[in-house]
Amino acid sequence: MKNKKLFLFIIGIIICAVIVIMIKNPKEESEGDTAEITPMEEMTEEQERQTMISLYYTNIETNTLIPEARVIDAKELLENPYKTLVEYIIETPKNEKLKSSFKNRNKGK
């Protein structure tokens, strides 16, 4: 009976030691497990400057504001951000179910 208790006690200590070792030294990933992604071609400076903005237009059917994404050159925003954004909002949206909430006064000229 004493031998059985001693045996279980030693097994318990071994299991605890293994758990502590595993916690302190987690298995490191081998270099072959991680793949590095390389682009097919280099990005041009113009492509790197492109950013996506959301412009809100009025939905013709529900009269609610709906966002429409546009990809623009960030350089335009740096030069004159307010004017650029207002001009984009005044433009006609690409989605036919949307309309600009602002009237373009220069459209007829």
Structural domain boundaries in the chain: 45-99
What is the reported pLDDT for 104?
57
Q: pLDDT digit string (tens) for 54-107?
A: 889 999 999 999 999 988 888 888 888 888 888 888 888 898 999 888 765 555
The span from the CA of 52 to the CA of 68, in Å, is 10
Whether residue 109 is predicted with pLDDT greater than 50 in this model: the reply is no
Whether residue 2 is predicted with pLDDT greater than 80 in this model: the reply is no
φ, ψ for residue 101 (rounded to 5)? -80, -10
List the structure tokens of 70: 């546009």
- DSSP letters along 5-62, please? HHHHHHHHHHHHHHHHHHHHSPPPPPTTTS-----SSPPPHHHHHEEEEEEEEEETTT
Q: What percent of the chain has pLDDT over 90?
A: 11
pTM: 0.51
What is the reported pLDDT for 62?
92
List the structure tokens of 44: 């041009």
Mean pLDDT of 30-49: 68
Helix (H, G, I), strand (E, B) or coil at 84: helix
